[in-house]
Structure 1
């Protein structure tokens, strides 16, 4: 059954071109598409207790990490999500990962998700990466971006607010973590 509205992000908008490399406004960070060679970085990241806890995921082998990276690359082609490795521009050192997931092209919506490696925390990596991805999404035509985090994750709440994502509300008992159900803050950026 056809829709009476045109998609905000028409099919093929993302997949018709290679996934772009993005830069932070200060030029110090590069957000580049994940490559299979990043599997060790991804596996190492998911050995960090904080990343495992907030993302409820573990990767024990490089093979599992390569499969995750391959799926991320396929999801770009399917226009369902995009994943970027956040690196330091000066030397290419990995600092974290950022994603635009749950892409809904019809409504022009998606959700921002990220993690930062332990050695890069406290240096403003997450807010700068969120800003770079937000700018790209706005330029691409996305209408609404959500940023969700557990109400117990105060650091992510600070990142959201610092990145210009005001708190819209709380989704009660909406995410299952290893210690049970968590309420989730919903921060939103509308491209007007």
Structure 2
């Protein structure tokens, strides 16, 4: 059965090397590299980060596999993950990502985390703002969604500072290690 609408973006819209995206204020979003694995493993030992994520890093070898997967997802246009680093020292400060990219619908989900040392410095909001601008303006996605546990007040502040409007609450939709969480749904669309 034919669709009544054309795809928002055709397959191949990301068919180029993953870009480095500057925030304009001292951070870079850059593709992940194999040497990043020890820093990612160390970041996932932080109990605050683990509280809000469903994945744990059991070893640096496991994280090497994640990095391979993240890079493969870009090549397959189904996800895009960036290391958030200090623009001068290349020190890992966090991660920002487009998950569940659906080019035909022009939609993706934004996700992020920061290292313990980077918290309180606006790293997540600055990186999310830069990524969102690139995704909406340069790539041409129509809508970006951002989900977080309603109990994660810091993530809610990041969403607001990054221009994501709170659209509502998805009841009991996120399974965390401590059980089911209600999730806030935020979004940005072209023109926001």
Smaller-chain TM-score bracket? over 0.9
Map 1:78-157; keep pairs closer than 5 Å: 78-139=76-137, 140-157=139-156
- The structural deviation recorded for 1:141 is 0.3
Aligned pair count reads: 190
Task: Give deviations 1:58-86, integer Å, cap 9, x for gaps.
Answer: 11111100001100000111111100000
Q: Distance in 1 between matches of 2:7 and 2:48?
A: 37
Structure 1 alignment gaps of length 5 or more: none
- The structural deviation recorded for 1:158 is 0.5
- The structural deviation recorded for 1:25 is 3.0
- The structural deviation recorded for 1:130 is 0.5
Structure 2 alignment gaps of length 5 or more: none
- The structural deviation recorded for 1:48 is 1.0
Aligned residue in 2 for 1:166: 165
CA contact (8 A) 1:25 1:128 kept: no
CA RMSD in angstroms comes to 1.0
Q: Distance in 2 between matches of 1:58 and 1:155?
A: 20
- Say which SS state the counterpart of residue 55 (structure 1) adopts: coil
Larger deviation, residues 67-76 vs 41-50: 41-50
- The structural deviation recorded for 1:120 is 0.7
- TM-score under structure 2 normalisation? 0.96
Task: Give deviations 1:27-67, integer Å, cap 9, x for gaps.
Answer: x0000011111111111111111111101211111110000
Task: Give deviations 1:65-114, integer Å, cap 9, x for gaps.
Answer: 00011000001111111000000112111100000001011110001100
Aligned residue in 1 for 2:51: 53
Task: Give deviations 1:105-142, integer Å, cap 9, x for gaps.
Answer: 11100011000000010001011000100010012101
- Say which SS state the counterpart of residue 90 (structure 2) adopts: coil
- The structural deviation recorded for 1:174 is 0.2
